[in-house]
Amino acid sequence: MPFLSATKHQLVQIAKAGCVVAALGFAFAGNAHAQRTIAEQFIQDMKDGKVSEAGAEDHVVQELIIKRSIPITYQYINNLMSTPNAFGPGVACTVCHNSQDASKSYRGLDLSTCKGMIEGATEKPKRTVFKPGVEPKRDILIRRLRNNRMPLGLGFENSTFTPNHMLVKQWIADGAKNDDNFTKNVLPLFKTANAFGPETPACTACHMSNQEPPSFHELNLKTYEGIMLGADSVAKGVDKATKVIVPGKPELSFVWQHLAEDRMPPGISPSEARDHPNTTILAAWIKQGAKCD
Ligand code: HEC
Ligand code: HEC
């Protein structure tokens, strides 16, 4: 999508075009209007050097939409749900999630209507997939668009109910203790290739220390202390490290979520950007209150 990966140069072009429009506006309205238009404010920010350098995939979305609080309409969200390739290559969400009838629609999740999106999965366990008005990064809907299943590259066709998966889930459910069961049965799984699916590296091939690179998210799955410390302890500081285990609560533990949840749409390559511009827009709609009109 060339527009969405605009460079700073292209943003300057957009701003210049805005100048022309703004100049025409002045010609008609004189200097009567006191409040700045969004285009005028953008031009001012360009002049003040407040527009960030290009880099991230969703640079334009951040600069022109999110930072300026443009209201996202449900109509656009509805389009996203029913359009192929909206979040990266793959069929549209509504092919598989099109009604609350769980005999025809996965998880009885209806992404084809606003009400259906807000009500969430109607099959057991019944649950909402986001909370209107709340940052949704860690909620089910955005998680499913951003988080790759681990070990990285493992496809949806591989079971998430193997005995090894159940060992990890049960260990967390039982309080995630540093006991004999952990040392003998659980920890070795993270260090062994093919433990959670065929032809996959050990978790510790990618998460082996608190240094990134080489360890993704500065996550060390080699020791009990490393696992309980969590991710990004150097970048964020030890106290603010992202906890990946919530003792007693597998469903809330990122280790379990990453073992059990496939990224949507199923089959998408793990190398596809996790921060697709449309995922950012979907999250913004939710934060703005998930309004249906
Ligand atoms: C080819 C069919 C298919 C497509 C297309 C698809 N999904 Fe799914 N989805 C599934 C299946 C199967 C599950 C349940 C299995 C699982 O948990 O991975 C699921 C589960 C989910 C869940 C979890 C619900 C819960 O209660 O845990 C969410 C959220 C979700 N999908 C969102 C999406 C979004 C958003 C899209 C579009 C980008 C999408 N899906 C596209 C098949 C699909
Ligand atoms: C080939 C490299 C690779 C392997 C193997 C791998 N991971 Fe990851 N892991 C990643 C990458 C890259 C990310 C960044 C997020 C993403 O891509 O979804 C990540 C993210 C994570 C996160 C999220 C951390 C956070 O800050 O939220 C957890 C938890 C995790 N992995 C656990 C595991 C577990 C458990 C295994 C083994 C079953 C595993 N990983 C195997 C590459 C890997």
Report, as an integer, the average pLDDT of 244-264: 98
Q: How confident is the model at residue 53 (pLDDT cuts 50, 70, 90)?
A: confident
Q: What amino acid occupies position 79?
A: N
Taking the CA of residue 141 as reference, the ligand 1 atom at the shortest distance is 29
Per-residue confidence (pLDDT) for residue 23, from 0 to 100: 47
Per-residue confidence (pLDDT) for residue 151, from 0 to 100: 98
Phi and psi, residue 88, nearest 5°? 120, 165
Per-residue confidence (pLDDT) for residue 59, from 0 to 100: 87
Is residue 143 scored above 60 in pLDDT?
yes
| Structure tokens given for 183 | 């040392």
Q: Quick one: what percent of the chain has pLDDT higher than 70?
A: 88
Q: Nearest ligand, CA of residue 160?
A: 1
Q: What is the best residue among 118, 137, 144 to mutate for testing ligand 1's pocket, by most ligand atoms within 8 Å of CB?
A: 144
Question: Cis omega (within 30 of 0) on the bond before 89?
Answer: no
Per-residue confidence (pLDDT) for residue 180, from 0 to 100: 98
Euclidean distance between CA atoms 124 and 20, whole angstroms: 56
Residues in Cβ contact with 293 at an 8 Å cutoff, skipping those fewer than 6 apart: 74
Q: What is the pTM of this model?
A: 0.89
Name which residue sits closest to atom 28 of ligand 1, judged by CA.
141
Pocket of ligand 2 (CB under 6 A): 147-148, 150-152, 196, 201, 203, 205-207, 216-217, 219, 221, 231-232, 242, 244, 254-255, 258-259, 270, 274
